[in-house]
Amino acid sequence: MGNPRFNLLALAACAAIWLALVLNAAIRARENPNSGREPIAAQQEIARFAKQALNDMQGRSFSSGKELCGLLLEDEAGDLSVSTISEGREADCDLPWVLPRGKFAVATFHTHGTFSEEYDSEVPSVQDLQADIDEQIDGFVATPGGRIWYTDWETKVASQVCGENCIAQDPAYRPDEQNPPAARYSLRELEKRQGIWE
């Protein structure tokens, strides 16, 4: 038979570890501190700002061959700004979710690095759209061909804001003649396209 006081302590320690694990899992599941929040800034203004930010990042993304990502932020008056920009790897990037005081996350944005025939990089990936849906935030994606996509977390649809060459284009870019991107994709349609590709 064990010491009842020791057993109680052991039980309390187990409970504390369990709670820490559960809390950690909950934090990981959603990192956006403003998930589901309706932006104050007008949608058109947000899209214009995202286009500018992505265009500015394209050159660096092409030369490094890495994804760059960040967040569009707004203050309480709806004035937009850009977060710090994170440098990712070839095909993923960690968003800077720790926000300055008084700033709110309005949209995610990322580039797709340099052109490669190994990636279907002219459309958002299933993971791109799914991540925004999970974080309950809209997003913008720039492609090597100079397209911009808008991902709407509520409708779960990705649509082209503007087509080839509407922002800086990678000189190495070659259009995919056999499988050109459609104007919009639902999550299901994107899964289908990605399935064909892989």
Q: Which is nearer to Zn ion, 106 or 158 (CB)?
A: 158
Stretch that binds Zn ion, among 57-65, 125-133, 165-173, 180-188 (CB under 5 A): 125-133
Stretch that binds Zn ion, among 26-34, 40-48, 121-129, 178-186 (CB under 5 A): 121-129
Could you tell me how many residues make up the chain? 198
Based on the shown chain and the rule CB under 5 A, indicate whether residue 128 belongs to the binding site for Zn ion: yes
Nearest distance, CB of residue 10 and Zn ion, angstroms? 47
Nearest distance, CB of residue 101 and Zn ion, angstroms? 29
Decide: 108 and 82 in contact? Cβ < 8 Å. Answer: no
The residue number with the shortest CB distance to Zn ion is 128
Based on the shown chain and the rule CB under 5 A, indicate whether residue 120 belongs to the binding site for Zn ion: no
Stretch that binds Zn ion, among 3-11, 17-25, 52-60, 118-126 (CB under 5 A): 118-126
Decide: 145 and 173 in contact? Cβ < 8 Å. Answer: yes
Residue 163, CA distances (Å) to 42, 53, 59, 167, 178 in order: 22, 17, 18, 9, 17
Nearest distance, CB of residue 103 and Zn ion, angstroms? 24
Decide: 72 and 53 in contact? Cβ < 8 Å. Answer: yes
Nearest distance, CB of residue 150 and Zn ion, angstroms? 13
Whole-number Å distance between alpha carbons of 165 and 162: 8
Q: What are phi and psi of 55, to 5 degrees?
A: -60, -40
Residues of this chain that interact with Zn ion (CB under 5 A) are 125, 128
